[in-house]
Amino acid sequence: MKVALNVLLALSVMLSSAGRLQASDDAWIEKVMAWTIDGYFQKAEDFLNERIARTDSAISPCFYLASVLNSKMTHFENIDDAGKFEHLLTYIIKKSNERLEQKDLSDSALAKYYFYRGSAYGYLAYFQGQNGRWVKALENGIKAIKDLTACTEIDSAMYEAYLGLGTYKYWRSTKLKFVLWLPFLADQREEGIADIKRALRSSSNSRYMAMHQLIYILIDYKHYDEALQYAREAIAHFPESQFMWWAYAHVYYKRHDYPQAVKAYQHLLKLIERHPESNPSHWLDCQLRIAELYRRMGQNDLARRAAEKIWQKRSEFPETEKNRKRLARAERLLQELNEGQF
C-alpha cells in the first residue's frame, strides 16, 4: 500500500517546484526557483520569509516557501520542516478558498487559485502518504487532481498544471493498476507524457522542473535516447545542480552505459563535495554506485578502492535506514571482492 501511494502521489515531485504562473512575470520567483534547483535552500528560505513579512503573508510567497521546504526535506531525507510545511499548505488552502468564494473573479484569477489550492493539496497528499496517513493522502490527492483539471479547463495555457496531471496519469497507468489490482485502468502513459511536454512550453525555470520529471518518466518507459536528450539540456542549463546531475547519471545507468555512468557519478560526487548544503548521505549513495558500477565492468581494483572510501567514512553518515542498507551493500561488496569472487 505504501508503494502504491508513493507512486500515486508523485504529485510532490510534479509540483516540486511549482513554476511561475502564466500571468506572473515576477523576477523574484525565477530567482527562488534557480536557488532551489541549485540546492541553495537557506538562501531561498531567508528571501521568502522576508518577503512574507513584507507582503502580509501573501499566498504566492507562502506557496513558494512550501515548495522550497518540500525540496529541502527531500534533499536532506528528513522531515525537520514538517510543521511549518503543513502550516503553510493549510494557510494556502484556506486563503484560496476565500478567494474562490468571491464573485466576479476573472478566468485568470480562478485558474490561479485552483492551481494554488490543487498544488497545496498535492503537497499534503504526498507528505501524508509518505508518513502512513493513507486515508487523508488519498483524499487530498483526489482534490489535487480535481483542482488542477479545473485550472487547465479554465486556462489551457497554465502549463504548470499540466506537469501535475501528466505525472499522475503516467504513474497511475504504470504502477497503480498492478499494485492496487486495478487492471481496468486505462493506459494513459502517452497522454501523461504529452501533458508533461506541454508543461515544457513554459519559458521559465518551471520548464526545467518539468524536464527533470520527464527524464525519469522516459527512463521508466525505456525511452533512453529521448531521456538523454533532455538530461543533456538540463545539465547544460543548470551545470551545478545536483538534482539535474542525478537524473543525467541515472539515464546512463539504466542504459547500461556503465563507463559514461561512472563519469557522470564522479562529476556529481565533486558537486556534492563542494556544495555548502550537501547531504552526506548523497555522497555515500553516489560513491556506492560508482563502486558497484566498477564491479559490473570487472574493474575490481577500482571497485575495491571506491568501496574502501565508503568504509573509512562510515561513522560520518546520518544513522538512517537507507544509510544502513547502503553501508551493508558496501560491506558486502568489499567482502566479495576480498574473497576473490569477481
Identify the DSSP state of 316.
Answer: G
Cell, residue 281: 548521505
Cell, residue 333: 561488496
Write down the residue that cell numbers 518551471 correspond to.
Answer: 206
Burial of 342 (0-12, 13-18, 19+ CB in 10 A): middle
Question: For the residues of 88-124, what is the DSSP string, one character each?
Answer: HHHHHHHHHHHHHTSTT--HHHHHHHHHHHHHHHHHH
Give per-residue pLDDT as tens, 192-241. Answer: 899 999 988 875 667 888 899 899 999 999 999 999 999 999 999 999 99
Among 167, 68, 150, 157, smallest CA distance to 116 is for 150
SS3 205: coil
Cell, residue 98: 476565500
Give per-residue pLDDT as tens, 151-182. Answer: 999 998 888 888 888 887 887 767 654 444 44
H-type alpha helices, 200-241: 206-220, 224-237
Run of H or E including 149: helix 134-154
Query: How far is residue 66's CA from residue 16's CA, in Å, rounded to a whole number?
Result: 9
Residues 6+ apart with CB under 8 A from 103: none
| pLDDT tens for the 342 residues of the chain, in order | 443 334 344 444 444 444 444 444 578 998 999 999 999 999 999 999 999 999 988 999 999 999 999 999 999 999 999 999 999 999 999 999 999 999 999 999 999 999 999 999 988 887 887 777 777 877 888 898 899 999 999 998 888 888 888 887 887 767 654 444 445 557 888 988 999 999 888 756 678 888 998 999 999 999 999 999 999 999 999 999 999 999 999 999 999 999 999 999 999 999 999 999 999 999 999 999 999 999 999 999 999 999 999 999 999 999 999 999 999 999 999 999 998 754
Query: How far is residue 281's CA from residue 76's CA, in Å, rounded to a whole number?
Result: 8
Query: How far is residue 316's CA from residue 161's CA, in Å, rounded to a whole number?
Result: 41
Query: How far is residue 10's CA from residue 126's CA, in Å, rounded to a whole number?
Result: 7
Whether 234 and 242 have beta carbons less than 8 Å apart is answered as: no
Write down the residue that cell numbers 501523461 correspond to.
Answer: 192
SS3 184: coil
Whether 164 and 196 have beta carbons less than 8 Å apart is answered as: no
Look up residue 237 and give its amino acid: H
Among 109, 107, 12, 113, smallest CA distance to 67 is for 12
Helix axes 224-237, 206-220, angle to 10 degrees: 150
End-to-end CA distance of the chain: 38
Query: How far is residue 293's CA from residue 329's CA, in Å, rounded to a whole number?
Result: 13
